[in-house]
Chain A
Amino acid sequence: MAQAEGQQHPIGVYFKVWGWLFVLSTFSYLVDYFHFESYLRWTLILVFMFMKAGLIIAVFMHMKWERLALVYALALPTMFLMVFIGLMMFESDNTLLQRVIFFAA
């Protein structure tokens, strides 16, 4: 066998991540519960979201123990989503503008 028995890590790390995911989920729920609004709300939602996603990918999916070649093979195409998001924001702004101009009232 090329790899004796892959991805064995101390069980403590999983419990720690589990706990953190609970804490972060509670935080993001509280963002809604306490009615934070506007930029504070969006920033907090995104921060907690990326922290949770990072923990799941890095530890639960063992990404931090994988070789860099695999990490880049997956991360690089995902990065292009930023371009996609930018395009669609531009597009929807334009659609909204047209609607306001031509379909107002």
Chain B
Amino acid sequence: MSQTATSSTGAALAQPEGWDSVIADWSSDQRAFKNIPWGKAMMWIFLLSDTFIFSCFLLSYMTVRMSTTVPWPNSSEIFALSFGGEPIPLILIAIMTFILISSSGTMAMAVRFGYQRNRKVCALLMVATAMFGASFVGMQVFEWTKLIVEEGVRPWGNPYGAAQFGSTFFMITGFHGFHVSIGVIFLLLTARKAWRGDFDNETPGFFTSRKGNYEAVEIMGLYWHFVDLVWVFIFAFFYLW
């Protein structure tokens, strides 16, 4: 035998460009996602599955809206808000949109400062992101309260038209708000770790015992940007359509 089998040659193999790189990466019994920590790959896989969950929600919304013979309530008027004068259509939703976009901006910068090993700025930006997220949830609570108490919207009916409006609204925005809430909690936990220097000192995690690394901030960021991404679609399809 002139040749000996070598293993774990991930870095040694040639890495072609373009479509060839896709084939090369997926074939030949090797690690598919090069240069990507497995935690990040797993977060992407989770986000893909989450994409399908939200797609199912939005598609069921599309299906009931397309198939009902009753007129669909006008979301522009229902979500209007008056600050003393004429009601401004969708204003609260617009503010919530800008808040979530801003939280994505601070999160993206937190990832950058994390990889630059600037732990304090990284942590503070994550706290800012969490605050934006918490205010988003707060406004959603206000929106729900107004809708339920003042306007009498229920999952099984409402005064404006098709009953499916309530059920799809509470399910879709409720599930999204739940995602934001979970994100806020994990942002604060990750910010605490960053502030303490866990990612600089490679402190083992209390649950997994893996070495601390700023990849955790990027993985947290992926989740948060996804929550923002889902809102882009909810804003377009539920509120604007």
Interface residues of A (CB under 8 A from B): 2-3, 5-9, 11, 14-15, 17-18, 21-22, 25, 28-29, 31-33, 41-42, 45-46, 48-49, 52-53, 56-57, 59-62, 66-70, 72-74, 77-78, 81, 84-85, 88-89, 91-93, 95-96, 99-100, 103
Contact = CB atoms under 8 A, between A and B. Distances in A.
Contacts of A96: 66-69
Nearest to A35: B76
Given A49-B232, A49-B236, A68 B22 contact: yes
B222 interface: yes
A81 B59 CA distance: 10
A103 B215 contact: no
B214 A69 contact: no
A53 B229 contact: yes
B67 A78 contact: no
B211 to A, nearest CB: 10
Contact of A78 (B11, B51, B66, B218): B51
Contacts of B109: 11, 14
Interface in B10-32: 11, 18-19, 21-22, 25-26, 32
Contacts of B59: 84-85, 88
B22 A22 contact: no
B213 to A, nearest CB: 9
A68 B21 contact: yes
A103 B111 CA distance: 56
A33 B89 contact: yes
A60 B238 CA distance: 24
B60 to A, nearest CB: 8
Interface in B201-230: 214-215, 218, 221-222, 225-226, 228-229
A58 to B, nearest CB: 11
Nearest to B25: A69
B47 to A, nearest CB: 8
Contact of A21 (B19, B67, B101, B239): B101
A31 B69 contact: no
B98 interface: yes
Contacts of B229: 53, 56-57, 61
B2 interface: no
A8 B115 contact: yes
Contact of A70 (B44, B55, B63, B218): B44
Contacts of B115: 5-8
B214 A70 contact: no
Nearest to A99: B69
Contacts of A99: 67-69
11 contacts: A2-B11, A6-B215, A25-B94, A33-B89, A56-B225, A67-B21, A67-B35, A69-B21, A81-B51, A96-B66, A96-B68
